[in-house]
Amino acid sequence: MKQQNNKGVIKKLFVYAKNHKYLTIASWILAAISAILALAPFYYIWAIIKEVIEVRPDFSQATHIKAYGWSAVGMALLSMLVYIASLMCSHIAAFRVQVNMRIAMMEHIMKLPMGYIEAEGSGKIRKIVADSSAATETFLAHSLPDKSVSYVTPIGLIGMLLYFDWRIGLICLIPAALAFICMGSMMGEKMKTAMAEYQDALDEMSAEAVEYVRGIPVVKTFGQSVFSFKRFKEAIDKYERWTIGYTTVMRIPMTCFVVFANAVFAAIVACSFIFGGDSIANTFLFNILFYIIITPILTVTLMKVAYSGESEMIVMDALNRMDSILDVEPLPEASSPKSPVDAGIVLDNVNFSYGENKGNAIDGITLSINPGEHIAFVGPSGGGKTTLASLIARFWDVNSGSIKIGGVDVKDIATPELMKQVSYVFQDSKLLKMSILENVRMGNPNASNEEVIQALKDAQCMDIIEKFPEGVNTMIGKEGVYVSGGEAQRLSIARAFLKNAPILILDEATAFADPDNEAKVQQAFANLSKDKTVIMIAHRLSTVVDADKICVLSGGKIVETGTHESLIKEAGIYNHMWSEYNKSINWKVGKGA
């Protein structure tokens, strides 16, 4: 992950801003002008008080009060208008940067291996895309103009503080300097690390909260409330420990910062005793009054500087998290892509691992699948079934060996062409918040309504359509419109029908189907599988008994191969799995239960 410094952050944001970066620069300039104009009303207020004191008790001689008053109002309004113009520029630029960031990230994510998306989790990636770009929007729209103000205001203040009485001005700056020192002790690399740890702890707690809420039905069913809450509570405890520890470390520096930032009035009081003497001259009194009026701005400015520093660290962490995705390399595309001649698949000594320090998930597998052949991958959990199927669809690239479809290495097939060759029906089918018609049409965006309806019929989905008043135009996820896991699976199969790819991969496709849905899913598979090369991953062995070939995977290797009948005759893993499977489906609750 690339670490960003302050200059790097601005430079990188400007890359996304493109020509809108000039609006950001304009917002800085306008904010600086606004900060200078905002100091003028304090001078006019002091001038009013000065004139009133000078002419007392004959206040009729105070002839400039109205002019000073209107001047103060005018400068305040002008400062406000300039600052509004600054915010308009910064917001336009910030929104453009946010849009460009999300577009850039989504375009990059679309090129990444499907395996990476599955491994990282769509929720985590979505959070990085949404939250990181939102953090930069806040930084550009608000923090940068405020930072410009916080830089320019002290310069104007120092000039004014030293102009009236340099002795009082210097003493008033001592608490401010001490406040800056305290602020510096809270910033730096240590604070950047702490901010990253904070975001990690917050992400973990949020993720566990989502998982806990999703799992409540299962928790209630099996009475595992205490056990299931354990991970969520551990995440909360971890966040609590971090927060308390961080707060404890920052308690003294933050206390000192707040004390010194608000200690300017104490400095003014001290100046009154030191330089005032027994009798206070009018000039000295006027100067003291000016410092009483102007120094609260110094306190506010110090607070703005502190919070702008925190905002900068948040956006730096956000950019680092974005880089964690942008630094992932897409799978290389072939310079001279080729097209497969048929739907045959050949794996030659394929090896694959999920990381350099991890063992092989696939270990030296060689396999040949003829066009139109139906094979099944079965075996213990973690044996490599899904990984092997994912490699065939090129969700990952093999570490060594080769996978060929129709005589062409999958690395030499253009990604769009490969996607036309393979339909992948996942275990957990995803339906988007759009109409059933559009959900199914994702299989072939150019399909007509009639073709979509036919695909739904072939996938045994008409009973789903008929139960909704709006039929195929029913919006999934709207106003409580949802479908069961088995129904979602059938709608996904309808997509596969519409896509009509010659190779079909079914990954635990009946896992979430109830008995009624399973029968319809199986019928849909039977319709879909005609004249196609089919790879089926299954734990329910009853679904694979008719396969042309069954491959038993264990430890990343194919340890047994054959038909259902031939494997039953062997006293091997498949025979044992079949025996256990039959015991499970024939098991009945005893009368005394």
pLDDT in tens, 197-252: 776 777 677 767 766 665 665 555 555 555 556 777 777 887 787 788 778 877 88
> In this predicted model, which residue has the larger pLDDT, 343 or 157?
343
Helix (H) or strand (E) holding 575: helix 573-586
Contacts for 98-107 with beta carbons within 8 Å, 24 or more apart? 98/133, 98/134, 98/136, 98/137, 100/16, 100/17, 100/18, 101/16, 101/132, 101/133, 101/136, 101/322, 102/129, 102/130, 102/133, 104/16, 104/326, 105/129, 105/133, 105/322, 105/325, 105/326
The pLDDT-based confidence of 89 (bands split at 50, 70, 90) is very high
Q: Provide the pLDDT for residue 217.
A: 59
The class that CATH gives domain 345-586 is alpha beta
State the Cα–Cα distance between residues 505 and 540, nearest whole angstrom. Answer: 16
Q: pLDDT tens-digit profile of 290-334?
A: 777 777 777 777 777 666 666 777 788 788 888 888 888 888 888
Least confident of 119-123, 220-224, 470-474, 559-563: 220-224
Confidence of residue 1 (pLDDT cuts 50, 70, 90): very low
Q: Which of 20-29, 253-262, 564-573 has the lowest mean pLDDT?
A: 253-262
Question: Does residue 7 or residue 257 have the better pLDDT?
Answer: 257
Lowest mean pLDDT among 11-25, 73-87, 241-255, 344-358: 241-255
Q: Average the pLDDT over 260-276 and give the result.
A: 73
* Helix, strand, coil content of the chain in percent (nearest 5): 65, 10, 25
- Per-residue pLDDT at 593 exceeds 60: no
554: pLDDT strictly greater than 60: yes
User: Where do the domains of the chain lie?
Assistant: 6-326, 345-586
Q: Which residues are within 8 A (CB) of 360 and not within 5 positions of it... i.e. 6 or more apart?
A: 351, 352, 353, 399, 556
Q: Calculate what percentage of the chain has a pLDDT beyond 90.
A: 15
**Which architecture characterizes domain 6-326 according to CATH?**
Up-down Bundle (1.20)
Please tell me what DSSP assigns to residue 141. I
Q: Which residue has the higher pLDDT, 285 or 148?
A: 148
Three-class DSSP category at 507: strand
> How big is the chain, counted in residues?
593
Phi–psi pair at 505, nearest 5 degrees: -115, 120
What percent of the chain stands above pLDDT 70? 84
Q: How far apart are CA 443 and CA 491, in angstroms?
A: 11
CA distances from 281 to 267, 416, 446 (A): 19, 86, 89
Q: For the whole model, what pTM was predicted?
A: 0.64
Which is nearest to 12 in space by CA: 132, 180, 171? 132
**For position 221, what pLDDT does the model report?**
52
* Cα dist from 537 to 61, 83, 326, 376, 544, whole Å: 97, 63, 32, 6, 9
**N-terminal to C-terminal alpha carbon distance within the chain:** 57
Q: Indicate whether 85 pLDDT > 90.
A: yes
